[in-house]
Amino acid sequence: MPDLFDVIELIVDLPEHGLRAGMQGTVVHCHSESVCEIEFVNEDGETIALLPLHRDQFIVIWRARTREWVPLSERMAELIARLPEDMALEVLDFARFLHAKRLQRTPSPS
């Protein structure tokens, strides 16, 4: 569950609010375990949107309590866990492809 002042990243577009997947906001209130009030600001620190979002619309990327970024592997695991099985398998196949590609580029120790 997100905590107050955690930084989140949208994983869906919200065109009715001018927000796109990938945009970041801050948790300013937790209504329940599944709904949080999120504030989005522009480069000048002005609020551009303040709205309740359901947990399936975002992931936490920075934890205020620990003052640390959520590791990339955890962010990816959370996103993959939300996918249907067939799509999650596609991600796994792509990760295997990238891993093999990296190994082909890495010179063997002499």
Residues 17-57: tens digit of each pLDDT = 999 999 999 999 999 989 999 999 999 999 999 999 999 99
Instruction: Assess whether 24 and 62 both reside in one domain.
Output: yes
Q: Is the pLDDT assigned to residue 80 strictly greater than 80?
A: yes
The CATH number covering residue 37 comes to 2.30.30.40
Instruction: Assess whether 86 and 47 both reside in one domain.
Output: no
Q: Is the pLDDT assigned to residue 110 strictly greater than 80?
A: no
CA atoms within 13 A on the CB side of 38: 25
Q: Are 22 and 35 in contact (CB under 8 A)?
A: no
Instruction: Assess whether 33 and 64 both reside in one domain.
Output: yes
Q: What is the pTM of this model?
A: 0.85
Indicate the average pLDDT of the chain.
94
The type of residue at 3 is D
Tally of structural domains, the chain: 2
Residues 37-46 as b/e (b if ≥16 CB within 10 A, e otherwise) read bbebeeeeee
Residues 50-65: tens digit of each pLDDT = 999 999 999 999 999 9
